[in-house]
Amino acid sequence: MTSILRVGKGDAQASEIRTVTGVVALGGLDDEAVMTVDSPMLRPQSAETRVDRMLPAAAPLPLTFREAAEIGDSTVLLDALPAAPVQALQVHSPGIADEYHDCGLYTATSDANGYFRLPPLHRMAQIRLDVNDGVAPAPFSFFIEPDYDGPEQWIDLRIS
């Protein structure tokens, strides 16, 4: 069985997923070990960085990219969302090693003034925001088209 590790869990910007290709034990079961992974880490990691073993999905349904992906993309567009909540997506391309990437919906909670921040997004033509005011029985959905001319975009939304 393939061993998959998440390095830096809890930090969405620094978290990385790697496949273990080798382990050299330095002592007993509770002692340190040296692991070799399938590709170099993209960011430096401290000695205290959390490392978690991930269990592969039982029988994932294949998804395909809706748009071509490029190295460095922080978001990819798929033809559908995964059928069930998953921790990561396995990207399989003929001729190169499989990759694993985080998968999830972006969420943000506003402060008392209504200010919120999403992670950096790119290559999006339209975004659906679901607003839950805590009073209405169902979230209110609306769509925005990102303005990529500036480093930030402000959205004015009034719920009455």
Are 123 and 61 members of one domain? no
- What integer pLDDT is reported at residue 83 of this predicted model? 67
Q: Out of 89, 104, 119, pick the residue that ends a domain.
A: 104
- The reply to whether 59 and 116 lie within a common domain is no
Phi, psi of 127 (to 5 degrees): -125, 135
With beta carbons less than 8 A apart as the criterion, state whether 52 and 78 touch: no
- Quick one: which of 4, 117, 124 has its CA closest to 74? 124
**Shared-domain flag, residues 84 and 133:** no
Q: What are phi and psi of 58, to 5 degrees?
A: -65, -65
pLDDT of residue 160: 63
Q: Do residue 70 and residue 36 come from a single domain?
A: yes
Neighbours of 66 (CB within 10 A): 11
- 19 and 62 belong to one structural domain: yes
Q: Which pTM value belongs to this model?
A: 0.54
125 and 93 assigned to the same domain: no
Coarse DSSP helix, strand, coil percentages of the chain, rounded to the nearest 5 percent? 0, 25, 75
Tokens (6 digits) for 112: 């008392």
* Per-residue pLDDT at 27: 77
Question: Domain ends where: 60, 77, 104?
Answer: 104
Last residue of a domain, one of 62, 84, 104: 104
Angle at 106 between CA 108 and CA 143, to 5 degrees: 85
Beta bridge partner(s), residue 20: 37
What span, in angstroms and rounded, lies between the C-alpha atoms of 29 and 140? 52
Same domain membership, residue 155 and residue 81: no
Kindly state whether residues 81 and 156 are assigned to the same domain: no
**pLDDT value for 23:** 85
Domain that holds residue 67: 1-104
Burial bucket for residue 4 (CB in 10 Å: 0-12, 13-18, 19+): buried
The count of domains in the chain is 2
Quickly count: other Cβ atoms within 10 Å of residue 28's Cβ.
6
Given this model, what pLDDT does residue 148 score?
Answer: 77
Q: Indicate if 95 and 113 belong to the same structural domain.
A: no
pLDDT for the residue numbered 132: 83
Residue 85 pLDDT: 65
Do 58 and 8 share a domain, yes or no? Answer: yes
Do 159 and 141 form a contact (C-beta atoms < 8 A)? no
pLDDT per residue rounded down to tens, the chain (160 residues): 568 888 887 776 678 888 888 888 887 778 888 888 888 888 888 888 888 887 765 555 677 777 777 766 767 777 776 666 666 777 777 887 777 777 777 788 888 888 888 877 766 777 888 888 788 888 888 888 888 787 778 887 776 6
